[in-house]
Amino acid sequence: MALLQYILIGVFVVSTVIGYLLINNVPSRLHTPLMSGMNALSGVTILGALLATATALSSNNPVVGYVFGSLAIVLAMINVAGGFSVTNRMLKMFGRKKENDE
């Protein structure tokens, strides 16, 4: 492996540990705004997956690139849609309740 690959793996491991420690210490009342921010970040993940899939043409085995790229796009879209759905449900809990006219 080239030195760049070791650096990228190291950055991934460090960012995973820091992300876990940060999310683990978030108070429960801040989870809704945090989830909204993570949905925006997942949009960036989708762009990265699209770029990775598009550059699969120049690789030695483009089929593998297409399969993993498509899988990354689908999983990121599920994350975004699910996150917005959960955020919407949580925000409805804080809305005004409609009074029934009976």
Q: What is the full DSSP assignment across 37-100?
A: HHHHHHHHHHHHHHHHHHGGGGSS-HHHHHHHHHHHHHHHHHHHHHHHHHHHHHHHHTSPPPPP
> Can you give the residue range of the structural domain that contains 51?
27-93
pLDDT of residue 14: 93
Enter the tokens of residue 59: 């690789």
- Please write the tens of the pLDDT for every residue from 51-102: 888 887 777 778 888 888 889 889 888 888 887 887 788 778 777 766 665 5
In a domain, 43, yes or no: yes
Domain count of the chain?
1
pTM (2 decimals)?
0.59
- Please write the tens of the pLDDT for every residue from 20-57: 888 788 777 776 677 667 777 778 888 888 888 888 77
In a domain, 7, yes or no: no
In a domain, 5, yes or no: no
